[in-house]
Amino acid sequence: MSCSARLLTFGVATVLATVSAVPAAPTMILAGRGFTIETFEEGARAFGNRNYTWQEVPDALKGWRFTRMNGGEPTPLWLQCHRDMEVLLATSAAASDWPLAGWELLPDWTFRYTDRSRTKVRVYRRRLPAGPVVPLPQTGWTGGMLLIPPDVEVEVVGPLPDLKRLKYNHPGLVVDLGVGLWAWPLPMDYDDDGDMDLVVCCHCVPYGGTYFFENPGGGTMPVFKAGRKVGPPLGNVCPSYVEGRVRLLLPGQELVQFRQKGFTARKQIFPRSNVHPNRARANQWKYVDYDGDGRLDVVVG
């Protein structure tokens, strides 16, 4: 342990006292696993499981630090600030707006990493008060990376305890089907057996994911089988029924081959994910032949 010395004076006597150095209190505490904190600079490795590197790093952010994670692997992170402060988060420019509600886009700060598409990354900010534990948005393959100024002390702790699902404590109970908070129901014949099943997307803890509830025997009031997770968390996902088949839209994108690809493959259908003048809490896209000309249009609500 490093030490410092100070002079204590009593009248004409001077005593040299040795005092143990007191470590600086952390400005923020970061909880989670599956990440490291690295220096953010041009050419630095961007992800733990890829050799992609950062390019076009803004001068104002050089020398900062970032949370390096594995691309495509969910990495839940929680942040607690010990004083009111502005926090910066970086994620792919193609990320859904839904998880970023409350975060302000900084349009002048963008950079890229060296995958085949040279993916563009945008920076968002949010003012956080001291005290509350706040989850950091994680969306898309890139995830959400915390950007840490050089003068901020960070204490990294392990993940928060796993949340336990409360049981009804009644083995034979039949209840209404539900998936967490802010669930997005997608009625469809998911298993192609001729009856309507239910797929539900949810973006909240602890249910986050896309779940398939099988209709075991048809009928007007089926009792669905227990849900089976078939994909990642999704928000603002809406079904469109076109020529006898279901097509799933996200803001500005379509989920393609979702049964085969596990709800991860996307196709861009519009240059922007938000057509509203400001950030919308709900951003729902559907295919429809609105003008009756035989061609599909897009309706956004």
Question: Is pLDDT of 92 > 80?
Answer: yes
- Average pLDDT of span 243-258: 93
Non-local CB neighbours of 11 within 8 Å, separated by 6+ positions: none
Which burial class, exposed, middle or buried, applies to 180 when counting CB atoms under 10 A from its CB (0-12, 13-18, 19+)? middle
Q: What percent of the chain has pLDDT over 70?
A: 87
Q: What is the pLDDT of residue 117?
A: 92
Q: Side-chain half-sphere of 281: how many Cα atoms within 13 Å?
A: 1
Yes or no: say if 104 and 127 are a contact pair by the CB < 8 Å rule.
no
Q: What is the mean pLDDT of the chain?
A: 84
pLDDT in tens, 189-198: 999 988 899 9
- Average pLDDT of span 226-235: 88
Q: Is the pTM of this model over 0.85?
A: no
- Average pLDDT of span 135-142: 89
Question: Is pLDDT of 20 > 90?
Answer: no
| CA angle 126–180–143, rounded 5-degree value | 40
Q: Where are the domains of the chain?
A: 28-157, 183-300
Yes or no: say if 110 and 121 are a contact pair by the CB < 8 Å rule.
yes
Yes or no: say if 207 and 165 are a contact pair by the CB < 8 Å rule.
no
Q: What is the pLDDT of residue 17?
A: 35
Which burial class, exposed, middle or buried, applies to 84 when counting CB atoms under 10 A from its CB (0-12, 13-18, 19+)? exposed
169 vs 45, higher pLDDT: 45
